[in-house]
Every structure is written in C-alpha cells, then in structure tokens.
Amino acid sequence: MENGFDTDIKFVAGVGEARAKLLAQELGIRTAGDLLRHYPFRYIDRTRIYPIAEITDGAGLSYVQFRARVTGFAYAGAGRKRRFTVFVRDASGAAELTWFHSIKWIESRVEQGREYIVFGRPSFYRGELRMAHPELETVEQALSRRAESGLQGIYPSTEKLSNVLGAKGMYRIVCNAWALLAERIADPLPEALRTQYGLVPLREAFYNIHFPQSQEGLRQAQFRLKFDELLGVQLDILSRRTARLAKAGGFLFTKVGPAFRTFYDEKLPFPLTGAQKRVIREIRQDTVTGFQMNRLLQGDVGSGKTLVALLSMLLAVDNGYQACMMAPTEILARQHYATIRRMLDGVGVEVAVLTGASKAAERRAALEGIASGAIDILVGTHALIEEKVRFADLGFVVIDEQHRFGVEQRARLWTKNERPPHILVMTATPIPRTLAMTLYGDLDVSVIDELPPGRRPIRTYHYTDAARLKLFGFMRQEIAKGRQVYVVYPLIKESEAMDYKDLTDGYEAISRDFPLPDYVTAICHGKMKPADKEESMRQFKQGEAQILVATSVIEVGVDVPNATVMVIESAERFGLSQLHQLRGRVGRGGEQSYCILMSGEKLSRESRARLDAMCETNDGFRLAELDLKLRGAGDINGTQQSGMAFDLKIANPTADVQILARAREAAAALLAADPALARPEHRGLAELRRRHSGREELDFSKIS
C-alpha cells in the first residue's frame, strides 16, 4: 500500500529499534499497518469499579479495577530479587500490590494515605487479592481520563514483550500508529457493497476497534473488520476454485474394472453401510467429470473410512493410475499397509509401504516399484512427500486423519506429476461445511454419519487416583475374559521429559501389579526404536500382550477389535477431540467396551466440562461442537492453533459463521461481475484477496 501502512514499525513514535525487533519476534508486527491491525482481544469497562471483596477467585475476572487507599509499604529480597509491596484497602477489604522491577519509579509515585484507582490482573493467595505490576492512577487523573470513553482495549502480548512494553505502553504506540495513518486510510470496499451489507467505513472501524466510543460503535467496527478478513479469504478460495474448474485436467476414472469388482464381489469382509456406499458414489461422480476432485471425508472414529479409501484407490488402479495413502504416524501407516495387503490378497493389486523407518531394501523396492509403475498402491507416512519419491502415474491421493498433519507437512505435498491427482482428505473431527472451506480451502465435503451395525456404545467413567485399586480389579476382570487393555499417558512437548517419566513409572507399576507369567504388558512410545515399537504393537495386536502402555501415538487409527478397555491417565490434560479419538480405539468388536478417564481430584472448570461431556455422549459431532464452544470461550490467542490456513486477526470462522456466509455471498457476486477483480474500483478488493490468500503450500489444486 502506498498509504503509509508499510512504514517500518521502528519509525512509529515510542517504538525504536529494540522494541521493533521484539514486536516482530513476538507478534510478527513489522509495519505501522500491522500495528493498526493488532486488535484488542478484550475490553475493560473502565467506568466500573469493584469493591475488593467482590474480586474473588471464583468471579473469573481477568482484569479489574478498584479504588483503595495506601496503608503501608514493604521491601523484600535484595539485588535482582528485590520486591516492593504496597498494602491497600477499601471499605470492603484489603489487597497487596507488588512490583519486581521499576521499583524506584513506583516508589516515587505512591503516597501513604492517598487514594488510587488500581487496575490490573488479579491473582489470589489464600483468598487474598494480589496484583503484580498494576496500573495506578490518582482518582483525579482517572476522572479526567474517563471523560473520553469507558472501554479500554487489552492487547494480545507475550510474556517477553509485556516485560518491556506493558498494557499502557502498547496502548500508547497504537495511538501513535493511529496518528500516523489515520488520514491515509483508503477503503477497499466499494460504497455500494458497504451499503448493501451495512458496513461502516474502514477508517471509522479502525478508530472504534482501538478507541471505542460506545458498545455499538465497537460492535460495528468488529463486524466490518471481520467481514473484510472473511471476504478476502472467500475471494481467494472462490477464485482458486474457478481456476481449478477452468482447467479440465482431472483424471477420468470412467470404468469399474477387475480390481474393484474382484474385491467388492469376493473379498469384502462385510456389507458396506449405507453411508459408505453414498460416499463412494460421490467420489465416483467426482472422478468422471474431468475436473480434479478435492474432497474432505468426515466420519466419526470407527465409521469405516479406511474401506472407503481402499475402494476409491481401487477405482484409480482399474483406470490405469497409481494411488497412495498417507497416514500421520508410523504405526498407523504400517497398520493400514497390513490391513490393505490382507484385504487385497488375491486381487492382483501390488501394494508397498514407505515410511521414515523403512530399511534400505524396503525403501528401494518401494521407490523403484513406484517409479516403474509396478506398484499400484503406496501406503506410508510423510516420507511419501520426500523429493526422491517419483510416481509413474499418480492419480489418487488419500490423506488420513488430516488434522494430525502439521501445516509444513501438508505443505510439501507433492509437486510430482504434471496433472494434479484427485485428493481425498479424511478426518474424524467433524466441522461445518463453511468452516471446512475456510480452514482447508476449496474442498467438497462428504460425511459418513452411520456406524457399522452391531456396535455397542462404549461406557465411559471418570475416576480419580483414589480409585486405582478398583481400576486394577476391573482390568483383571476384563483380561480374565480374554480381552485387552490400553493405558495411555499424555505427551506434551513442553513437559516431555516429565511425561516420559510418568509413562515409565506407570509401566513399572502395572508390570508389578500384573506380573508375568499371567500377564504380558507391552510399552510403546516415541522415544523407542521403530523396531521395538513395532514389536510391541505386534504383541498387542496378536493378543500376546494383554496390556499396552502407550503415549497418545496410538490415538489415531489403531485397530485392535479385541481391546475393550481404554484407560486414559491424566485425562484432564487432553483435549476433547483427542479424548474422543482415544476412546475410539475400543468398541471395535462385538463386546461391551469401556473408557476410563483417570484424573487428579482438583480440576479446572473447563477440564471438568470436558470429562463430563465424555461420560455423557459418544457422539463425535456433539463433542466437536462443545469443544469449539469451550475453546472459543478461551483466550483468543488460541486461534492460531490447529493449523489454520489463513491469517485471520479478528474473524473466528467458528464463532462468526454468519458473517462468513455473508462474506461468501458477497465474494461470489463480486467475482461473477469481475472475475479477475480488474476494474479500477476493485483495486482494493484485489489487494484484500492478496492479503488473505491461503498460504501457497495449502493449495491442494497445485498438488500433483
């Protein structure tokens, strides 16, 4: 933009070199425009003053303001550990304010006996209110300030940054950026469009998002800025879709040949469910159009997605193309390979496997066979997207349990042959269609909404550690019936070392309580050698081990129908969709299965809600909705999670589906009138599309 938005952030008053570096590092803010698009994630009503007694742990207040008189001071520690505490009280109670740095500065400003407005993030010690580094203002100062507006924005920040640039500092530089840019804000949206959708001018939106003059002004600003972001995304997605559909070049799978026929007529282990049949029909329809298919298949855990993938791959093979299937973990890839080989025995289709752990011979065989065309189906992990893998004629790609792929992994998805293969992305995490479009780009969606017949609903219970003896008794009982048990431990990057210790401690305790020769306990986690992992999985699969102690590596896809008990340790540390995935490992045979959630006594409200929901329902769609609700309520900083493909600063496609739908409608109309957005009055829109275009790597239409 030529209007100053690109001005280096260091030139904004109050920033300078050092802070500029930190802003870029911590928040990716590099220009004055970036700063203007750094929106508050919350607003505090500064007209509201709480009595100290009402500021309690249970009140759930993130920032508060109270009015209190200074009753005393204290110093503690020495040198770098020095602390300065100010004691204050109002008519309802007392509080302690503490400073760990800038002590000199605050000392000189606090007067014994004087009244202040204190503003900050509350914390509690033995029920007493504490605040670290609050803002202090004299009552007179506060009164003069409040004349402007009651709402004050709180900006997202990081720990490192907020040490240098506190809430006030951040606010100040935003003011300076506004002063720099305010007169140069051009509106990208044509007037007619603004009128049609009831959108305020961009300049007004920027002003009110940072300095809201009223609740209504704020609401309108949010609506406008969200609309712009989602419009940019939709312009991008729809343009790509048009481009994709304009390139007739999709492989044609016109015939159903011997591979599909033989398998379907002779080898199918059970009749397909109605939903499986419907999805296969949808895929067949996609692959005879001459356009490339991009399809997302949603189906709850255990709904039989693998079989759909297999039948689709056979269609590709029948039409003279190769297919590949990519799984997120080594274990899952190996399992798919074994299952598919077994099912295709005698069908005359060549299957190979390739993973990061493939030995030289296996690797060579796979690479050569795939290059020569001798291999029809290649199953593997992201090793499949390595440079060296060259397909003779790749026509169909299945990506299993898509949510487990990081953006970078999806990123390198083949640039392999000239024409793009059809893509089937499978996931057990259900999401609404419009949301899927925003998260994953230009995809059509199929749903398997029916489980294979004869499944008994899994019973889920929540126990605390006190019930461990009871749990062990129950495990014995099930094992005596010939069943098998999973015991899963969390594994979280930040506390990896401790997690592994918990896991190995747990394994030892179980081995002690379930001694040989009656019980065999296997262990499986990411730090083991691939061969050892494989051996553990083999033991468990073949029923040689009754108990498998593992990290969440087994979360996705593992299929051992004889396992009927899933014990999840420290269940409060897992997310809802992960818990549901783990639970899906049992209940795969005809026997009654159980999921036991173990947790500590003390739980946060959110953890308790998750565990309760698990006990209440087996329905993945309901859990996914609840999950979105629970997470949506959390910190907005969380929106960057889950590999979201588009850079959204304020819109949340989950919470803002209504706006999304309108933005989509607007985008479609704009592109219908001006497909390339080439008209002069659409220059701003073209820029908006560019700014919000999905990252290059996620463009499935470029996959080949």
| Rounded least distance, CB 263 to ligand ADP, Å | 14
Closer CB to Mg ion, 122 or 557, in the complex: 557
Supply 482's token pair: 């010939």
The CA distances from residue 476 to 473, 479, 515, 583, 642, in Å, are 5, 5, 11, 19, 38
Closer CB to Mg ion, 68 or 399, in the complex: 399
86 binds, among ligand ADP, Mg ion, none (CB under 5 to 8 A by kind): none
Applying CB under 6 A, which of residues 299, 395, 441, 490 lies at the interface with ligand ADP? 299
Residue with tokens 């949808």: 282
Applying CB under 6 A, which of residues 37, 305, 410, 533 lies at the interface with ligand ADP? 305
| Rounded least distance, CB 452 to ligand ADP, Å | 3
Residue 620 contacts ligand ADP per CB under 6 A: no
3-class DSSP state of 444: strand
Applying CB under 6 A, which of residues 112, 270, 364, 482 lies at the interface with ligand ADP? 270
Part in contact with ligand ADP (CB under 6 A); list of ranges 73-81, 123-131, 305-313, 411-419: 305-313
Residue 413 neighbours by CB distance under 10 Å: 22
Query: If we measure between CA atoms, which residue out of 382, 380, 303 comes closest to residue 559?
Result: 303
588 binds, among Mg ion, ligand ADP, none (CB under 5 to 8 A by kind): ligand ADP
Strand order in the sheet with 422-427: 351-354, 377-380, 322-326, 394-399, 422-427, 294-299, 444-448
131 binds, among ligand ADP, Mg ion, none (CB under 5 to 8 A by kind): none
As a whole number of angstroms, the distance between CA 502 and CA 9 comes to 46
As a whole number of angstroms, the distance between CA 142 and CA 48 comes to 12
Q: What is the largest CA-CA distance in the chain?
A: 91
As a whole number of angstroms, the distance between CA 352 and CA 363 comes to 9
> Per-residue x/- mask for ligand ADP, residues 530 to 569, rule CB under 6 A?
---------------------------x-x-x--------
| Rounded least distance, CB 433 to ligand ADP, Å | 19
Closer CB to ligand ADP, 134 or 299, in the complex: 299
639 binds, among ligand ADP, Mg ion, none (CB under 5 to 8 A by kind): none
Residue 302 contacts Mg ion per CB under 5 A: no
Residue 557 contacts Mg ion per CB under 5 A: yes
Residue with tokens 């305020």: 200
Residue 120 contacts Mg ion per CB under 5 A: no
CA angle 53, 56, 58 (to 5 degrees): 145
Residue 452 contacts ligand ADP per CB under 6 A: yes
Please answer whether residues 370 and 322 qualify as being in contact, where contact means their C-beta atoms are separated by less than 8 angstroms. yes
Residue 276 contacts ligand ADP per CB under 6 A: yes
Which 6-45 residues touch ligand ADP, going by CB under 6 A?
A: none
270 binds, among Mg ion, ligand ADP, none (CB under 5 to 8 A by kind): ligand ADP
Applying CB under 6 A, which of residues 234, 298, 306, 427 lies at the interface with ligand ADP? 306
CA angle 590, 540, 378 (to 5 degrees): 90
| Rounded least distance, CB 428 to Mg ion, Å | 7
Applying CB under 6 A, which of residues 283, 307, 353, 398 lies at the interface with ligand ADP? 307
Secondary structure, 3-state, 396-424: EEEECCHHHCCHHHHHCCCCCCCCCCEEE
| Rounded least distance, CB 323 to ligand ADP, Å | 16
Residue 364 neighbours by CB distance under 10 Å: 11
Residue 184 neighbours by CB distance under 10 Å: 14
304 binds, among Mg ion, ligand ADP, none (CB under 5 to 8 A by kind): ligand ADP
Torsion from C-alpha of 673, 674, 679, 685, nearest 10 degrees = 100
Please answer whether residues 172 and 185 qualify as being in contact, where contact means their C-beta atoms are separated by less than 8 angstroms. no
Residue 303 contacts ligand ADP per CB under 6 A: yes
Which 250-269 residues touch Mg ion, going by CB under 5 A?
A: none
Query: If we measure between CA atoms, which residue out of 347, 392, 355, 397 comes closest to residue 374?
Result: 392
Closer CB to ligand ADP, 222 or 273, in the complex: 273
Applying CB under 6 A, which of residues 212, 304, 395, 684 lies at the interface with ligand ADP? 304
Count the residues of the shown chain that bind ligand ADP, applying the rule CB under 6 A.
18
Q: What is the number of the residue whose Cβ is closest to Mg ion?
A: 557
Residue 639 contacts ligand ADP per CB under 6 A: no
Q: What is the number of the residue whose Cβ is closest to ligand ADP?
A: 304
276 binds, among ligand ADP, Mg ion, none (CB under 5 to 8 A by kind): ligand ADP
Q: Which residues contact 484 (CB under 8 A, 6 or more apart)?
A: 540, 543, 545, 546, 547, 548, 560, 562, 563, 564, 565
3-state helix, strand, coil in the chain (%, to 5): 45, 20, 35
Part in contact with ligand ADP (CB under 6 A); list of ranges 120-128, 162-170, 303-311, 487-495: 303-311
Residue 296 contacts ligand ADP per CB under 6 A: no
Residue with tokens 């009128």: 195
Part in contact with Mg ion (CB under 5 A); list of ranges 15-23, 433-441, 518-526, 554-562: 554-562
Supply 99's token pair: 């400073």
Residue with tokens 């709402």: 151
Give me the residues that bind ligand ADP (CB under 6 A), please: 270, 272-273, 276, 299, 301-307, 428, 452, 557, 559, 561, 588
User: Residues interacting with Mg ion, by CB under 5 A?
Assistant: 557
